[in-house]
Amino acid sequence: MDVSGQAERRQGAAKTKTESGPRARTKRIMLDAAMRLMQEGQIPSVTDVAEEAQVSRATAYRYYPTQAALIQATVDEALEPILAWQSESEDPAQRMDELLTFLYPRMEMYEAPLKAALRLALDQWARGHAGKMGGEVVMARGNRIRLLASAIAPLKRSLGPRRFERLSQALSLIFGTEAFVVLKDIWGLDIKQAEDVALWTCHALIRSAVDEADGSRRTPVRRARKKPGS
């Protein structure tokens, strides 16, 4: 999801949770309806959710003007606690442990909406590639960039910008819905097994990055030999 705009979406999600009255109840009814349809394997349209929630289409579109906005709202609800994650540890491996052991159970709890969001993002990519998106709002993605950078922040100085970014990129391969699909659906792992693989991979990547940085600092810089007579 696009990092720009995340604060606004988090504020909106928090506001939804603290709102009261008819508007908040209608939003809750619609989100619950969307979740039920996603549990059945659908990527529901706003009209589908209106019918399931037994509200008028006009009302539904006032709250969620597009399918992407609706799916985004369900994802925001799933990810809200994760986006607020922080750690007091100074050990990057420990920080990744804390983040992943918090993330994976939450992803299992909201597996249906997260997979629906992934399917919609892929569908939008295909339609965009074919020039058929029109003015449709694109699903935003990129939360993992900020979260992973935060998790390994203690390594930023010692690794340097290039190695730090590469480690973040490598860690992103086992963080998020895509990794969840590979480990659970393709390998058939349960949530604890998937989490263990993710943690092992994180530790291996962090060790490799640290060892590489340490090795480069220990290796003396070779000076070019002067040519005879120069």
Distances (CA, A) of 207 to 91, 101, 163, 218: 12, 19, 12, 16
Report whether pLDDT(221) > 50: no
Is 1 inside a domain boundary?
no
∠ at Cα 38 (110, 143), nearest 5°?
A: 45
Q: Indicate the residue type of 182.
A: V
Is 71 inside a domain boundary?
yes
Is 223 inside a domain boundary?
no
Is 227 inside a domain boundary?
no
* Rounded distance between C-alpha atoms, residue 185 and residue 198, angstroms: 15
The answer to whether the beta carbons of residues 71 and 139 sit under 8 Å apart is: yes
Report whether pLDDT(128) > 60: yes
Is 160 inside a domain boundary?
yes
* Rounded distance between C-alpha atoms, residue 63 and residue 60, angstroms: 5
The answer to whether the beta carbons of residues 71 and 118 sit under 8 Å apart is: no
Is 228 inside a domain boundary?
no
Residue 26, domain extent = 6-129+138-217
pLDDT digits (tens, 9 = 90+) for 61-89: 999 999 989 998 998 888 888 888 999 99
pLDDT digits (tens, 9 = 90+) for 92-122: 999 999 999 999 999 999 998 899 889 888 9
SS3 176: coil
Lookup result for tokens 């999801």: 1
What's the mean pLDDT in 5-27?
58
Report how many domains make up the chain: 1
pTM of the complete model:
0.77
Is 125 inside a domain boundary?
yes
**DSSP letters for 205-230:** HHHHHHHHHHHHHHSPPPPPPPPTT-
Is 163 inside a domain boundary?
yes
Q: Residue 111: which CATH number? A: 1.10.357.10
